[in-house]
Structure 1
Amino acid sequence: METLILNNGTKKDLELLLEIAKKLGLNLTLAKNESSEDKRKRLLALAEKLDNSITPNNITMEEIVEECNIVRKENYEKRKNNS
């Protein structure tokens, strides 16, 4: 089953899309529009699932900054040598 999401279409655009799909032998149906509350609940559930999938690590901000500085210096040296 394929999903097509049309966010900014007019009713006329939608009717044309359905007509073309029918001529191509595709069986498109319209999904019920999600209420803002339902959308909010769905997004919160997805966010919670994502949060639960993250495994913490012991990397400090200082280590991240230090590694970024090393990479920047290496890239600078490469550009300097290629000039």
Structure 2
Amino acid sequence: MKNSKNTIGTIIKIEERFQRGFFIKYEFQVKEEKYTENQKLTIKRELIKIGDKFRVYYSEKNPNYSELIFEKRIEE
């Protein structure tokens, strides 16, 4: 993502969409504002749970454009 920054995002919902697979909803914060986005799950469903944290890249100009990176899990 061009002109991107990154932060930590938290999975807040996992849902199965008919014939489309699993999607997650995640939230992240930029300055004082919280954002939520949906994204198709690209790893095995068994590998994630609500509350898991991952690196999120977002547009510096418009944080509504973001992507959670499943390969960049944040271990606590």
TM-score (norm 1): 0.21
Relative contact order higher in (CA < 8 Å, ≥ 6 apart)? 2
More helix by share: 1
Larger Rg: 1
TM-score, length of structure 2 as denominator length: 0.21
Give the number of the structure whose residues are more often strand, by fraction.
Answer: 2
